[in-house]
């Protein structure tokens, strides 16, 4: 009340001074007309002085007004901070009260509004980092992921292909393109940035089983169920939004074996495309994947190939329950010879090696049983082995066939996907630490059906998965980075 009264008094005084100044101006004009110039100048000076006093009063009033507004704003901020701290304490207490039951705490993460769930997830994440939380990483990551997807203003973190399950995805490191292919013969190319945007699509009219990019990113190679291998120029996909390649796919008179895997390798200075079926390994030049250069089968003439990878110039083949390490070389007549310099057989009934990946001297093997082995590469010198006869770590976290397995480019994580509909992230301690107690493996159950494929993108910051539910999904590879992003969205 006093401040308002003071303000009104200042305003009245300002108006009085301006009125007197106007009177002085009028008096000066009269004196000027009578020729009394000196007196007129004196009156004008008095009028100017009165206006200056009025301006000072107005400036003082404005300053007081701003001070009052600043004080009110500061009080509002202080109150908001206090309320935020109170809410944070309440959320912490809420989770702590549920600490006796992880299921109760997990329900808290997914109840109420999205923002509330996000804040609870952040509290759970922070508590878990300090080993105080009742929840596991596999509980917290999905809650953070849900909040990220629902709160972000960039909605395109996944897409759904037409009407067939997505069998494979492949990442073009050089040009940052993602290729995906479905069981109906459609291949899509997406650009990766803040959003995944479709650049082009290609119709092949034949189910796709494998994709790989040329090392320089200039070609996308496509392996089909009918046995054909196609090379599609990246520039052609960049220039055309929609291509129809179905007329280029020809079934041979003799049915060919499906192409299960494609990869590339350099042999004596020349790069070749490797196409794997369950009975043979075929070699093509990158320039002409329709002309067979050479093929290889084991000396026994029998094979059950399910997986292949290339590491430091060597070829690793999953042949039934055996892992073969082979060194390729060119003969003078242009044929490719394969010398076996490492072999390991796992003696488990009905086991097939479906995935292989390497990082430095570490090997990860995935099987049709859902089992994953992590071992040192020098153990491939063994001729036969049981799970107890070599020093690898054997894990059965998945409940069905391993469909993809890849070490992160950051060398801190292993990605696995499975027909049990889950995606799992393995911390590096699983292959670098001898401690019996390992960190938590994060389980991501977002896919609703079989997960067929997974690959890291953007240098390992994200990864992509694809499945029978026709969805292609991008995920944060690091839960710490995911939590940081959610924290930004809740501010």
355: exposed, middle or buried (Cβ count in 10 Å: 0-12, 13-18, 19+): buried
Cα separation, 182 vs 111, in Å, equals 35
pLDDT at 250: 63
pTM, two decimal places:
0.74
List CB contacts of 94: < 8 A, sequence separation 6 or more. Answer: 108, 120
Cα separation, 112 vs 297, in Å, equals 59
CA distances to 223, 246, 266 from 187, in Å: 11, 12, 26
- Based on C-alpha coordinates, what's the Rg of the chain? 36
Cα separation, 310 vs 452, in Å, equals 20
Q: State CA 285 to chain mean position distance.
A: 33
Cα separation, 347 vs 425, in Å, equals 27
List CB contacts of 74: < 8 A, sequence separation 6 or more. Answer: none
pLDDT at 323: 92
What CATH class has 168-475? mainly beta
CA distances to 91, 93, 104 from 98, in Å: 11, 9, 6
CA distances to 16, 123, 260, 408, 445 from 365, in Å: 92, 36, 17, 15, 22
pLDDT at 442: 86
Q: Which pair of structure tokens corresponds to residue 379? A: 């153990």
pLDDT at 281: 94
Helical spans, DSSP H, in 98-156? 102-109, 114-129, 137-151
Written as one string, the DSSP assignment of 390-430 is S--EEE---SS-EEEEEE-TTSSEEEEEETTS-EEEEETHH
pLDDT at 253: 47
pLDDT at 94: 56
| Residue spans per domain, the chain | 1-87, 168-475
Q: Consecutive sets of 10 residues in the chain, 491 residues long: mean pLDDT of each?
A: 74 85 87 85 86 84 78 75 68 54 51 66 74 65 82 68 87 92 93 83 92 93 90 89 80 69 93 93 85 86 92 94 93 90 86 93 93 86 57 82 95 93 90 79 85 94 93 89 85 70
């Amino acid at each position: 009340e006093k401040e308002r009264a003071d303000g009104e008094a200042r305003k009245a005084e300002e108006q009085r001074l301006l009125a007197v100044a106007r009177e002085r101006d009028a008096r000066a004009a009269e004196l000027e007309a009578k020729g009394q110039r000196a007196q007129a100048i004196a009156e004008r000076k008095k009028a100017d002085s009165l206006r200056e006093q009025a301006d000072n009063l107005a400036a003082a009033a404005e300053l007081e007004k701003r001070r009052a507004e600043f004080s009110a704003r500061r009080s509002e901020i202080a109150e908001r901070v206090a309320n935020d701290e109170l809410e944070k304490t309440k959320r912490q207490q809420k989770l702590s009260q549920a600490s006796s039951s992880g299921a109760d705490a997990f329900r808290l993460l997914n109840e109420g509004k999205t923002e509330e769930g996000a804040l609870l997830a952040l509290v759970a994440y922070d508590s878990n980092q300090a080993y105080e939380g009742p929840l596991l990483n596999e509980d917290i990551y999905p809650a953070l992921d849900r909040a990220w997807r629902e709160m972000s203003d960039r909605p395109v973190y996944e897409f759904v292909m037409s009407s067939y399950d997505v069998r494979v995805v492949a990442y073009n490191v050089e040009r940052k393109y993602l290729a995906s292919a479905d069981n109906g013969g459609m291949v899509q190319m997406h650009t990766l940035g803040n959003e995944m945007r479709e650049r082009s699509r290609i119709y092949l009219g034949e189910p796709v089983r494998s994709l790989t990019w040329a090392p320089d990113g200039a070609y996308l190679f496509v392996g089909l169920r009918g046995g054909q291998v196609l090379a599609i120029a990246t520039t052609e996909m960049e220039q055309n939004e929609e291509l129809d390649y179905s007329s280029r796919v020809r079934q041979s008179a003799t049915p060919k074996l499906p192409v299960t895997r494609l990869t590339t390798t350099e042999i004596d200075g020349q790069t070749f495309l490797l196409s794997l079926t369950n009975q043979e390994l075929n070699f093509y030049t990158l320039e002409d994947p329709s002309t067979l250069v050479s093929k290889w089968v084991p000396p026994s003439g029998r094979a059950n190939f399910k997986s292949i990878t290339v590491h430091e110039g060597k070829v690793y083949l999953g042949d039934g329950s055996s892992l073969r390490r082979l060194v390729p070389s060119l003969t003078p007549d242009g044929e490719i010879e394969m010398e076996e310099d490492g072999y390991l057989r796992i003696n488990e009934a009905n086991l097939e090696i479906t995935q292989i990946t390497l990082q430095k001297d570490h090997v990860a093997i995935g099987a049709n049983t859902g089992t994953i082995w992590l071992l040192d590469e020098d153990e491939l010198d063994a001729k036969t082995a049981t799970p107890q006869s070599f020093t690898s770590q054997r894990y059965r976290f998945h409940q069905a066939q391993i469909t993809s397995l890849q070490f992160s480019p950051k060398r801190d994580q292993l990605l696995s996907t499975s027909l049990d509909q889950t995606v799992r992230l393995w911390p590096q301690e699983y292959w670098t630490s001898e401690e019996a107690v390992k960190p938590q493996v994060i389980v991501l159950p977002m896919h609703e059906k079989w997960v067929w494929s997974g690959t890291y993108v953007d240098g390992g910051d994200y990864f992509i998965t694809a499945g029978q539910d026709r969805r292609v999904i991008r995920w944060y590879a690091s839960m710490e980075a995911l939590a940081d992003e959610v924290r930004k969205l809740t501010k």
